Amino acid sequence: MIAHKTLLCLCPLLDRIGSMQRKTCYFDNAATTLISPQALRTYEETALMHMANPSASYAAGRESHRLLESARASVAEVLGVKSSNIFFTSGATESIGIVMSSLLWAKTPGEVLISAIEHEAVGAWAAILKEKGWTVRTIPARGGFIRPETLEGMLTKSTRLVAVMAVNNVLGTIQDMKGLSEVIRRKESEFGRRIFLFSDSVQALGKTDFTPGRLDIDGASFSGHKIHGPRGVGILYLSTPRIQVLSHGGGQEGGVRGGTENLPAIAALAVACRQLADRNTSHIVQMNRLIRDGLSGTDKTVLSPEHDTTPYILSIATHLPSEVALRMLQDKGYLVSSGSACSNNARGKAESVYRACGFDRYASGALRISFSHDNTLEEAQGLLEALREL
């Protein structure tokens, strides 16, 4: 039996577990979320009713184009920015790649500063940029936070880009993006040249009050499947579209991302974005608190800090290797992760984040619990008991 009403038919993994007649509760929502029924319906309706290419000049094409622009306006409204700053992509990885690869156009390599807790989608660019002669330096993240004063001490006249994720996908820590952008703008006037502040904001959307314009960020990435939208669609926010891209095509998305737009997924993503406003965060806070408080006084350690951390992500450590604990929890019907399940080497990557934050001795036994509105308090109570029994 599956706990979520809708999971049974939609998720083969859970379905398989379900066929073993075990109640399965999904607590890995930072890895991916279940598409909402409204987003799914919009996807289907758009695929069937608006099949014309948005670039086609006949009426049906113009109608698809109108829908595309209305989705863009919806997303822009949710992010508190202008429509002209929103570009649709195939996901956060592509959004990140568009920004990072644009550096390769520079006539002379400069310096980039990348936080110690970035997702692989950003981290992988460090090696490429180094090979191309760039200096890549790591901004420390003790306790999971990047301090503006630490960044200030690291910025030099050669710094071209700073990458700091808005919410960490392993610990849930929320960065002081406003503080970081203020430091950058101050240094820009001192050095007399622009520094691009990029923020991988995949885990911030829907999990914090996140508006890139107000935070004075130059670029940000988002992903549909993390907010109950479809997979294979993402957003790139750019404060100015004057970015030199490596990949070229039919000029769609203002030339930032060529290729026929994935209209059904984009329309469904816009619906998922609009639904974020209806989400009840206090329910998530309650589940998080239940597990936090329930583990205190046990041999399990809560790693996610209490302050400046989204309640949607809770990292804990047990005395068992994380793979063993994961398997035991799965056998009891609870799916959690050992870190960032969206990376090929999920465990290794999560371990490096825990180490960068100063949690070395917990790194190999850490687990990430990530909540969604589909989870119930009853499920959270069950997970707590399963954790206690480990």
Which active-site residues does the annotation give?
Answer: 342
Total residues in contact with ligand PLP, by rule CB under 6 A = 14
Q: How far is the CB of 121 from ligand PLP (least distance, A)?
A: 4
Q: Could you tell me if 334 and 27 are in contact, meaning their C-beta atoms sit under 8 angstroms apart? A: yes
Site for ligand PLP in 152-191 (CB under 6 A): 165, 169
Q: How far is the CB of 169 from ligand PLP (least distance, A)?
A: 4
Q: Could you tell me if 358 and 305 are in contact, meaning their C-beta atoms sit under 8 angstroms apart? A: no
The CB-nearest residue to ligand PLP is: 342
Binding mask 338-367 for ligand PLP (x = CB under 6 A): --x-x-------------------------
Q: Which is nearer to ligand PLP, 203 or 275 (CB)?
A: 203
Q: What are the E-state strand segments in the chain? A: 25-26, 86-89, 111-115, 135-139, 159-163, 196-200, 219-223, 234-238, 301-302, 313-317, 334-335, 366-370
Q: Which is nearer to ligand PLP, 167 or 387 (CB)?
A: 167
Q: How far is the CB of 222 from ligand PLP (least distance, A)?
A: 8
234 scored as a contact of ligand PLP (CB under 6 A): yes
Site for ligand PLP in 57-96 (CB under 6 A): 91-93
315 scored as a contact of ligand PLP (CB under 6 A): no
Residue 211 burial class via C-beta count within 10 angstroms: exposed 0-12, middle 13-18, buried 19 and up? middle
b/e sequence 238-265, b meaning 16+ C-beta within 10 Å = bbeeebebeeeeeebbeebbeeebbbbb
Q: Could you tell me if 343 and 120 are in contact, meaning their C-beta atoms sit under 8 angstroms apart? A: yes
Q: How far is the CB of 193 from ligand PLP (least distance, A)?
A: 28
DSSP state of 34: P
Q: How many CA atoms lie within 13 A of 288 on its CB side?
A: 25
Q: How far is the CB of 57 from ligand PLP (least distance, A)?
A: 32
Binding mask 272-311 for ligand PLP (x = CB under 6 A): ----------------------------------------
Cβ–Cβ contacts within 10 Å for residue 360, how many? 11
Helix, strand, coil proportions of the chain in percent (round to 5)?
45, 15, 40
Bridging pattern class, strands 234-238 and 334-335: unpaired
- Identify the residue among 28, 176, 200, 351 touching ligand PLP (CB under 6 A): 200
223 scored as a contact of ligand PLP (CB under 6 A): yes
Site for ligand PLP in 100-139 (CB under 6 A): 119, 121
